[in-house]
Every structure is written in structure tokens, then in C-alpha cells.
Amino acid sequence: MTKETIRERIEQIGIIPAIRLSSAEDALFAVEAVSNSGIPIAELTMTTPGCVEVISELARDRPELIIGAGTIVDVEMARRCLDAGAKFLTSPGLDVRVVEFAVKHNVLVFPGALTPTEVMIAWQAGSDFVKVFPCSLLGGASYIRALKSPFPDIALIASGGVTQTNAADFILAGAVAVGIGGDLIPREAVHRREPSWIYELAGRFSQIVRDARSQKAA
């Protein structure tokens, strides 16, 4: 799967599930539930115990899935995840060295950024997307809209505080995709091993994104 294909799939689906759980077993369950719901993408955060091993297992057993590594904070961590088979790298903040590492190895990357300066630096460094995080704390969709005014050609992903209530607003404001954590993958659903709960939420979010895009295109 090429970087270009991965970028196209993320843009097409418009949802990046962020999996931040307390065990490798929980993470594997969550990935399975999300992928079975029709979203073949998952960001496995490095704060999840055994994250690198989970990425390696999924890369080996489920190569059709787009499994990426999140909460990357340095180049060495990025290298470990890439070696394990991660198909994209993302971080909570901007470290240009991580972006440059990803560009050098031709892997899709979208660092976190918050200020206009960080957004501009991330894009100039070669980021495929720029993840605005935590966007809900700076005005939510209105902040995405404000950033799109000077940066109309930068592909922004809204992350941090995305819910069923505001997901459409982020898409209408110009976000190419939204990153969603607990509102898509509730810890209780994982604890109870209830995939149908996650299926239901995934269906709702997918419909919200589709409807918002249709409204924007009208």
C-alpha cells in the first residue's frame, strides 16, 4: 500500500480512530471492532502498553488495514513504529525531526500543531496533513475555519474533543478528516467486549461525515 493510497483512503473515509487503551488485548479488540464497522484505519497511540507489538502483529496479519502509530514524540520512537510496520506516523505536537524522518522514509505523517506558525512549519517540512490538536480548546470548528482562511491548501485534521455533536461542524469548517478517540471507542465497550456498541458509533460518525460533505458540496 503506497503513501498516496493511504492518503487517499484517509481523505475518503474522513475518520481516524485514535486507540488509547490500557492493554494490548484491548487495543487488538478495538482495532477489530473499528475495522469490522467499515473504518479500516486506526491510530494506535504509544501510550498503550505493547503498542509496537500490536502494530507488528496487525501489519503481519491484517496488511489490508491502515494501522498507524500515534503520540510519537521523537525519531527513535518513530523508527521503532516504522520498523514494526506502521503505515503512518502522527504526534501530539510538532517535532520537525519526526516529519523529516517520515519524509525521508516515504511514510505518511501528520504532526500535531496548534498555532498558525506551527501549522505553517509542519506543512513546509513536508507533512501530508496537519493535525490541529487539541482544537476544541481553541474554539473548535471556528478555529479550523480561521486557519483555513490563510491556509486554504493545507489539509487539516481536527483532533481533540470531536463528538457526534460537533463532528459535522469540523468538516463544514474545512477539515479533511476528524480524529476521534473515546467518543468512537468507549472504554466501557472495550471492557465489556461489545463490538456492536462500536459498530453503532462508527456508523453514526460515518454518516455525519458523509452528510456534512454533501452539505458542503451543495
> Where do the structural domains in the chain lie, given as residue ranges?
3-213
CB 161 within 8 Å of CB 134 = yes
Amino acid at 73: V
Q: Is the pLDDT of residue 200 over 90?
A: yes
Cα separation, 110 vs 149, whole angstroms? 20
pLDDT-derived band at 137, boundaries 50, 70, 90: confident
pTM: 0.95
Helices (H), 3-161: 3-13, 24-36, 51-61, 75-84, 96-104, 116-124, 141-148
What is residue 156's predicted lDDT score, i.e. its pLDDT? 98
C-alpha cell at 136: 476544541
Q: Is the pLDDT of residue 112 over 90?
A: yes
Output the CA–CA distances (angstroms, integers) from residue 122 to 55, 127, 158, 164, 177, in the order listed.
25, 6, 15, 28, 17
What is residue 217's predicted lDDT score, i.e. its pLDDT? 86
Which CATH superfamily, name and number, covers 3-213? Answer: Aldolase class I (3.20.20.70)
105: nearest Cα among 120, 132, 86 = 86
